[in-house]
């Protein structure tokens, strides 16, 4: 009976406490409006955030202290020193691995730079060779253009002089033609107007010969020169003159 009473009063006491909490919360809600409750909640969350930051900052030191106390108490100093040595070795190996990776990367970068420098140096030498080659070709082309211009100017001068000579020769030819026509006309007049010991037939033959002379003199002279050359070729020559 006593046990039953204790349970009954215990349950009633818990319910009374919950009821009191609800009453207090209701009073607080009535005493503090929505804005006030929002400020309180914000302050509560802020304090939890600060506590969490503090725990994170202090956690490593607390972990080390707990670890030290545990190993010293349960396994002794030697075991604790071994644990610390293992941790430090792991950290050193990790740092060494990172440093080795960075060193290998730097070596690879240096090798790449050296290779690129070699390629650039070869390209620079090739560019210099091309530059020299093009400079020689340009110089030769410039000289060729200069010679061509000189030849053109010379040919123009030759053409000019040839045209002048042809004009001069054509002028002399016209003059000789006029003189020749005048002489033939005078000769023809003299045949009919001047008495002579030659018969009229002889005079006509002489006129025909003089009139045809310009056209027959060229072939006649050419045949005479060819005959002289032919006779000269047939004559014996002194072979010692060509030695």
Domain boundaries, the chain: 199-243
* 234 close to 214: Cβ distance less than 8 angstroms: no
CA distance 45 to 41: 6
Q: Taking the chain (243 residues) in consecutive chunks of 10 residues, what is each chunk's mean pLDDT?
A: 47 64 63 70 70 67 71 75 82 84 84 77 81 84 83 76 77 81 83 75 82 75 77 66 48
In this structure, the number of other CB atoms found within 10 A of the CB of residue 120 comes to: 10
Report the run of H or E that residue 84 belongs to, with start and end: helix 77-193
Give Rg (Cα) of the chain: 68
CA distance 240 to 22: 155
CA distance 89 to 101: 18
Q: Which two tokens stand for residue 209?
A: 């010969």
pTM attached to this predicted model:
0.32
CA distance 230 to 23: 160
CA distance 86 to 79: 11
Give the pLDDT score at 4. Answer: 45
CA distance 181 to 218: 19
């Amino acid at each position: 009976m006593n046990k039953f009473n204790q349970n009954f009063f215990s349950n009633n006491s818990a319910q009374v406490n919950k009821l009191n909490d609800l009453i207090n919360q209701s009073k607080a809600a009535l005493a503090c409006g929505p804005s006030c409750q929002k400020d309180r909640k914000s302050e509560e969350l802020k304090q939890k955030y600060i506590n969490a930051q503090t725990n994170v900052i202090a956690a490593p030191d607390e972990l080390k202290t707990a670890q030290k106390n545990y190993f010293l108490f349960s396994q002794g100093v030697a075991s604790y020193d071994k644990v610390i040595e293992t941790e430090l070795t792991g950290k050193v190996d990790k740092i060494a691995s990172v440093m080795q990776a960075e060193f290998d990367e730097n070596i690879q970068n240096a090798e790449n730079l050296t290779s690129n420098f070699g390629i650039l140096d070869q390209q620079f030498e090739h560019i210099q060779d091309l530059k020299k080659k093009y400079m020689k070709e340009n110089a030769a082309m410039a000289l060729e253009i200069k010679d061509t211009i000189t030849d053109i100017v010379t040919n123009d001068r030759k053409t000019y002089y040839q045209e002048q000579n042809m004009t001069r020769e054509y002028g002399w030819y016209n003059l000789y033609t006029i003189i020749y026509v005048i002489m033939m006309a005078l000769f023809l007049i003299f045949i009919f107007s001047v008495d002579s010991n030659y018969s009229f037939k002889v005079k006509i033959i002489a006129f025909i010969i003089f009139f045809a002379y310009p056209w027959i003199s060229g072939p006649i002279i050419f045949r005479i020169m060819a005959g002289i050359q032919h006779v000269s070729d047939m004559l014996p020559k002194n072979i010692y003159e060509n030695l």
